[in-house]
């Protein structure tokens, strides 16, 4: 009997600890879970590191050491001391302000050294931020079970400023946010500081993010009132030890709206003084304030055009106000007019004439593509073209156009596709990354931004896998040369498990996921087929009387009895000519245009033959079908993963994948049935038949709020 009980308890224990996880998780620990390692590896690490020390007394270094000690205990079961001096087995954190090998303030080295018979692991940096990044690097190596016995690592970020943009409103909602309400509790600030501020800062520091714009680009001027600046200062105080600077989006009309001036004209002396005084006020409260982000004269936002002035007039006025304090202006190039025949051309047309005219502390923030964060766009032609003005890429981490946080779409491949695109600005190899990181053109500032996908949801991002998009933005902002696979691999190991039978299929699922979304939403370069307003489901038929033409899908797909696609060739809108040779020619010629962008650049007949011999209509059907099959495949992959994942996260992801397949079918049926009314061609017999009726789909009006 006794033996049976022991066997029973043993079996129970094994069932819990063998592969799966006993505790159900809510995802709140992100990739910083520090799960216990196998005994063997834990022993190796515990032999290598036995204490931790630094002569640097700063708060940042202290919290780096604390992070290490706690994580080490969790992973290895061993307690290490924070020692007064370096001994054999120490992890030593050293500041060397004048170290020539460290090429940037955030750079660090991590080396295994032997000094006077003492075996040590030494992290050297110029600044405390560098030390913090080094510690997180070491922890990442441990979480992913790498050898740490003979380290020789040197890291320096490829962009100086790695910034999240929050589109958070003063009332707690988030524009295009799908993970609950805003993390910032404005009503409770500055007196009460949510513990999540610190957790947020810690997560960002772990992936090298060093700046955050707290509020929506559609900016409420209230954020820069004295009352709100106190609140912002309180948040900045929590973020500071984690190396994160706070920035704000500003409303260009603030002098009139807040200062009661008769105008906000950037050339008006009183307006200029108002901004200078405002800058002084801000820096008195937040000495390391990062600067302003500005959406001007776009989608109804005020800007210098309201006063007959230019982007340069507006940006330079703000830049002069911030300059004495080393603040910067991130001036967005997201502009388009309702009357333009091709929205994709406008940012280029509006900004190119000003190249070289911006003040040195201005950087122009350009969305990755020329339209608006579509599932696939070519890169914006401004990259590589504006050579005398610093440019920064803006990505959208939140999935406004890729299924919200309801669908799994791993975005590192999308980010990489843009960063690795060759602009040919200075010949072959002039990638977007090199055109923005200071490599090709001398830039006074280098930066990159991502529109955040975080909110109050327990798992931060709504979908457990959406955390990977926050993670990969940070990792690529640090090093755009990392591959999407590498990032997925490390994220999966830290967020779920190191088990190889989990890693291989789930990594493949992630790697295929963005393309699956493209396939079932808008393959072959189609874009903006979204439902009015919320941008979740398909509405290629959407027609709102009196609406701006460029907010309607028909502006983009141009489907007719003849064919489909936007003619941006030299015979059409001529957007191709905004690209450098030979890319302009490649895009212009239908035979050389990449097929995944063919309907972005060409209007083609339904019977146009693609390289695989299929007609355009048939290929469209095949692509939509493939997308649905990929989504179904993700469900199958995930169902096999049950034993490697805790119950809660398993079930939540399983449910979302099921919904994703349903919605993929909705997209496929909606788009194909609608386009079929023009093509008048049958869906190839070997593909799944539609399960919906077009008229039934047209009636769907989702009541989506931006906080779900
Ligand atoms: C998109 C998005 C808006 C947002 C805008 C921007 O158009 O739908 O909600 O304000 O981009 O980037 O400014």
| Those residues with Cβ within 8 angstroms of residue 665's Cβ, 6 or more apart along the chain or in another chain | 628, 691, 692
Q: Is the CB of 175 under 6 A from ligand 1?
A: yes
Ligand 1: which of 169, 301, 372 to mutate, judged by most atoms within 8 Å of the beta carbon? 372
447 with 160: CB under 8 angstroms?
yes
**Nearest CA, atom 12, ligand 1:** 334
The three-class DSSP label of residue 53 is strand
402 with 377: CB under 8 angstroms?
no
| Residues of the chain predicted below pLDDT 50 | 1-20, 706-708
371 with 528: CB under 8 angstroms?
yes
**Nearest CA, atom 2, ligand 1:** 176
Considering the candidates 88, 299, 543, 642, report the single residue annotated as catalytic.
Answer: 299
| Those residues with Cβ within 8 angstroms of residue 534's Cβ, 6 or more apart along the chain or in another chain | 702, 704, 706
704 with 536: CB under 8 angstroms?
yes
The pLDDT score that the predictor gives to residue 137 is: 98
Q: Can you read off the two tokens belonging to residue 16?
A: 């819990």
Quote the strand ranges of 422-506, DSSP E: 447-451
628-642 CB burial, b ≥16 within 10 A, e <16: bbbbbbbbeebeebe
Percent of the chain's residues with pLDDT above 70: 96
The total of other beta-carbon atoms located within 10 Å of residue 283's CB is 16
**Spatial distance between the Cα atoms of 626 and 208, rounded to a whole number of angstroms:** 37
**Spatial distance between the Cα atoms of 205 and 559, rounded to a whole number of angstroms:** 47
The three-class DSSP label of residue 92 is strand
State pTM to two decimals.
0.96
The pLDDT score that the predictor gives to residue 702 is: 87
36 with 77: CB under 8 angstroms?
yes
Q: Can you read off the two tokens belonging to residue 171?
A: 């009332």
The three-class DSSP label of residue 318 is helix
Q: Is the CB of 173 under 6 A from ligand 1?
A: no
74 with 112: CB under 8 angstroms?
no
Q: Is the CB of 351 under 6 A from ligand 1?
A: no
Q: Is the CB of 557 under 6 A from ligand 1?
A: no
93 with 64: CB under 8 angstroms?
yes
Cα of 295 from ligand 1 centre, angstroms:
10
Cα of 320 from ligand 1 centre, angstroms:
27
Considering the candidates 25, 155, 394, 400, report the single residue annotated as catalytic.
Answer: 400
668 with 626: CB under 8 angstroms?
no
The pLDDT score that the predictor gives to residue 100 is: 95
**Spatial distance between the Cα atoms of 688 and 357, rounded to a whole number of angstroms:** 56
C-alpha 193 chain-centroid distance: 26
Whether 400 sits among the annotated catalytic residues: the reply is yes
φ, ψ (nearest 5 deg) of residue 69:
-60, -45
The pLDDT score that the predictor gives to residue 339 is: 85
Task: Sort strands 447-451 and 391-396 into parallel, antiparallel or unpaired.
Answer: parallel
C-alpha 550 chain-centroid distance: 25
In the sheet with 81-82, reading across from the earlier edge strand, the strands are: 81-82, 51-54, 90-95, 118-125, 108-115, 152-155
Q: Can you read off the two tokens belonging to residue 359?
A: 């003040």
**Nearest CA, atom 10, ligand 1:** 218
Q: Is the CB of 217 under 6 A from ligand 1?
A: yes
φ, ψ (nearest 5 deg) of residue 148:
-115, 20
Q: Can you read off the two tokens belonging to residue 513?
A: 């996921």
Atom of ligand 1 nearest to the CA of 175: 9
Whether 299 sits among the annotated catalytic residues: the reply is yes
Q: Which residues, listed in sequence order, are joined to residue 467 by a DSSP beta bridge? A: none
């Amino acid at each position: 009997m006794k033996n049976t009980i022991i066997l029973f308890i043993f079996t129970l224990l094994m069932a819990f600890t063998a592969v799966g996880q006993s505790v159900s998780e809510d995802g709140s620990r992100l990739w910083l879970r520090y799960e216990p390692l196998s005994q063997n590896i834990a022993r190796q690490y515990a032999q290598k590191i036995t204490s931790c020390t630094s002569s640097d007394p700063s708060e940042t270094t202290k919290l780096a050491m604390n992070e290490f000690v706690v994580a080490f205990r969790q992973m290895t079961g061993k307690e290490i001391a924070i020692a007064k001096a370096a001994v054999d087995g120490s992890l030593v954190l050293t500041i060397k302000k004048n170290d020539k090998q460290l090429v940037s303030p955030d750079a660090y080295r991590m080396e295994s050294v032997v000094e006077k018979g003492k075996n040590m692991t030494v992290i050297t940096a110029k600044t405390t931020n560098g030390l913090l990044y080094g510690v997180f690097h070491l922890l990442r190596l441990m979480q992913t079970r790498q050898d740490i016995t003979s380290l020789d690592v040197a890291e320096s970020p490829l962009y100086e400023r790695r910034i999240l943009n929050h589109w958070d409103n003063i009332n707690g909602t988030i524009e295009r946010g799908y993970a609950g309400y805003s993390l910032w509790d404005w009503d409770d600030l500055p007196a009460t500081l949510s513990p999540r501020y610190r957790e947020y800062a810690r997560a960002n520091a772990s992936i090298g993010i060093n700046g955050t714009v707290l509020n929506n680009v559609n900016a409420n001027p209230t954020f820069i009132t004295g009352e709100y600046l106190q609140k912002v200062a309180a948040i900045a105080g929590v973020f500071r030890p984690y190396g994160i600077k706070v920035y704000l989006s500003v409303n260009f009309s603030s002098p009139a709206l807040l200062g009661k001036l008769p105008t906000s004209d950037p050339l008006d002396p009183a307006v200029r003084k108002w901004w200078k005084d405002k800058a002084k006020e801000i820096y008195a409260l937040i000495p390391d304030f990062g600067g302003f982000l500005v959406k001007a004269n776009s989608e109804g936002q005020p800007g210098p055009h309201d006063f007959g002035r230019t982007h340069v007039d507006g940006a330079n006025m703000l830049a002069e106000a911030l300059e004495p304090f080393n603040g910067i202006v991130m001036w967005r190039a997201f502009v388009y007019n309702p009357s333009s025949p091709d929205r994709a051309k406008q940012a280029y047309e509006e900004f190119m004439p000003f190249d070289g005219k911006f003040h040195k502390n201005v950087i122009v923030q350009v969305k990755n593509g020329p339209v608006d964060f579509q599932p696939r766009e070519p890169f914006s032609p401004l990259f590589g073209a504006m050579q005398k003005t610093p440019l920064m890429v803006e990505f959208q981490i939140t999935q406004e156009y890729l299924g919200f946080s309801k669908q799994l779409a791993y975005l590192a491949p999308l980010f990489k596709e843009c960063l690795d695109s060759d602009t040919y600005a200075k010949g072959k190899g002039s990638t977007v990354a090199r055109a923005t990181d200071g490599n090709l053109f001398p830039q006074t500032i280098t930066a990159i931004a991502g529109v955040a996908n975080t909110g109050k949801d327990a798992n931060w991002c709504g979908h457990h896998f959406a955390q990977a998009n926050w993670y990969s933005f940070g990792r690529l902002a640090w090093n755009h040369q990392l591959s999407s696979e590498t990032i997925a691999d490390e994220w999966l190991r830290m967020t779920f498990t190191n088990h190889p039978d989990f890693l291989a299929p789930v990594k493949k699922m992630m790697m295929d996921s963005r393309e699956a979304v493209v396939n079932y939403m808008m393959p072959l370069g189609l874009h903006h087929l979204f439902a009015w307003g919320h941008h979740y489901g398909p509405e290629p038929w959407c027609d709102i009387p009196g609406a701006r033409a460029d907010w309607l899908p028909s502006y983009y797909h141009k489907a007719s009895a003849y064919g489909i696609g936007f003619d941006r060739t030299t015979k059409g809108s001529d957007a191709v000519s905004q690209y450098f040779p030979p890319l302009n020619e490649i895009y212009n010629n239908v035979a050389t245009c990449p097929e995944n962008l063919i309907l972005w650049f060409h209007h083609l007949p339904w019977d146009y033959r693609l390289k695989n011999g299929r007609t355009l209509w048939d290929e469209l059907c095949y692509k939509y079908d493939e997308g649905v099959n990929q989504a179904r495949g993700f469900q199958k992959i995930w169902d096999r993963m049950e034993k490697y994942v805790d119950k809660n996260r398993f079930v939540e992801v399983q449910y979302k994948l099921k919904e994703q397949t349903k919605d993929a079918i909705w997209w496929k049926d909606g788009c194909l049935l609608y386009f079929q009314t023009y093509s008048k061609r049958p869906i190839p017999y070997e593909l799944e038949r539609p399960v919906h009726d077009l008229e039934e789909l047209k009636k769907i009006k989702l009541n989506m709020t931006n906080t779900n």
